[in-house]
Amino acid sequence: MDERSCRTHGPDRWLTPSWRADAVGWIDARLTDAGIARTGEVVQTRVRPWGTVLRTETSDGVFWLKATSPATSFEASIYPHLAEVASDRVVRPLAVDTRRGWMLLPHGGVLFEDRLDGITVVEAMAEVLPRYAEMQRSLATSVGSFLELGVADWRPVSIPRHFDALLRDIADDARNSQHHVDIATLRKIASHRDTINKWAEELDVGPIPVSIDHNDLHLKSVLLPRSGDVDLLKFIDWGDCVVAHPFASLLMPLRETVRLTGIEPGDTALAKLRDSYLEVFDDLAPRRMLVRLSTLACNLGKVVRAWVFRRALLHQPQDKPHRYDAAPLHWLSMVLDDDWYGSPQF
């Protein structure tokens, strides 16, 4: 779907009575198909430019309808595949509508961030990251399937052309929406092109196979079962995922750890978290190389994150400013920083 089409499918549509009637009708039909009765009202719990979520009580517990934007409708397509190849790490949908980008998901547990139960954020992340890395390794053989299902291709070899296109698109967005953009900043970012290319080349020839990058991994995208058994945790919200170097996945959880705890980016706790993730790849390269590649991947992950934000905002009405309007340029400008972390604004 092109950008013009995306802009006709904004969040206003999800607030209309007709859309709600269609969504509730679909929920009821899919529950009936499964022999489940709805026992409560359908409540719309969240509306964002990139999607909306509806919650309902049933005879078989809570169910959630997630409706995506056209730009991220691939999420409905990949959920069944994820449930097949990583069944222990994702919630299996009761039903999906790939045409509309809808998925009906059972209640898979409690958000890890809401269930720390005496452990620290750092300790929680130390439980999450190795299990996530193990899943990435198991999904590396499914890259072709994910690309066919519509997941964006951000493998290192593709990053230079994506970088150039993203610069042009952000400049065009500014002209079309009358948003102020610091042209000097754009020029500085463009001057970083050779560095971007070198980082991408080094990752491309490295020993780590590409896989899925969740791209928004934090403690609110991890579910714990009622028992609290971390071995049974599951990963949700795959609408930002891309096919990329797996180590780029470290960018968001490490940033979120800094945000939630207030520790400095150079704190040894972050290095320990990084290493808890990298240990899963120890058989593929010496630790020093893994650390080097993780730094490059996180820096390039800033470019990916800029693109993901811009895609998410494509269907936001141009005459309605949004708090994330500046996010694409902000993330892209972070490639100029001297460290992997960058500014915490977004």
Specify the fold of 111-336: Aminoglycoside 3'-phosphotransferase; Chain: A, domain 2 (3.90.1200)
Under a CB-based contact definition with an 8 Å cutoff, are residues 49 and 315 in contact?
A: yes
Per-residue pLDDT of the chain (346 residues; tens, 9 = 90+): 444 444 445 678 899 999 999 999 999 999 999 999 999 999 999 998 889 999 999 999 999 999 999 999 999 999 999 999 999 999 999 999 999 999 999 999 999 999 998 899 999 999 999 999 999 999 999 999 999 999 999 999 999 999 999 999 988 877 766 556 677 888 899 999 999 999 999 999 999 999 999 999 999 999 999 899 999 999 999 999 999 999 999 999 999 999 999 998 889 999 999 999 999 999 999 999 999 999 999 999 999 999 999 998 887 666 666 677 888 999 999 999 887 766 555 5
In angstroms, the CA 211 to CA 135 distance is 10
Cβ within 8 Å of residue 67, ≥6 positions away: 14, 23, 51, 52, 53, 54, 100, 101, 102
Q: Give residue-wise pLDDT tens across range 312-324.
A: 888 766 666 667 7
Q: What percent of the chain is helix, strand and coil (3-state, nearest 5)?
A: 55, 15, 35
Domain 3-107 has CATH 1.10.3470: no
- The closest of 236, 268, 255 to 330, measured between CA atoms, is 255
Query: Where along the chain do its domains lie?
Result: 3-107, 111-336
Q: Give residue-wise pLDDT tens across range 110-159.
A: 999 999 988 999 999 999 999 999 999 999 999 999 999 999 999 999 99
